Amino acid sequence: PSCRLPQFLSYLGACDRLLKQGYEEGQVEEAMEMFQYSEKKAAEFLHLLAQFNDMGFQQNEIKEVLLLCGNQREKALEELVMK
């Protein structure tokens, strides 16, 4: 069990940093899981999710498109506009 502690602490640190950026806890946990605990990819995803949400797109559609497009903003935006 002790060998997992550094990974867990790293995960908690990443979650904490993302929460401090104003993202919701549930979204942070979901994003971290979706991107195999990559803080960088989770942060990109959360940033784009918030951006597209502000544009009026539906959150479930945004998530789907971002996953399909690998967090590529322009590609994702094109997909969302075409829906």
In order of start, what are the domains of the chain with their CATH numbers? 4-82 (1.20.120.1920)
Residue in the structure block whose two tokens are 């995960």: 11
Q: Evaluate if pTM is beyond 0.85.
A: yes
**% of the chain surpassing 70 pLDDT:** 98
Interatomic CA distance for residues 48 and 74, integer angstroms: 10
Q: What is the pLDDT of residues 39-59, one digit of tens each?
A: 999 999 999 999 999 999 999
Mean pLDDT value of segment 47-74: 97
In this model, does residue 1 exceed pLDDT 90? no
Average of per-residue pLDDT values in the chain: 94
Q: Which residues contact 25 (CB under 8 A, 6 or more apart)?
A: 15, 19
Mean pLDDT value of segment 21-50: 96
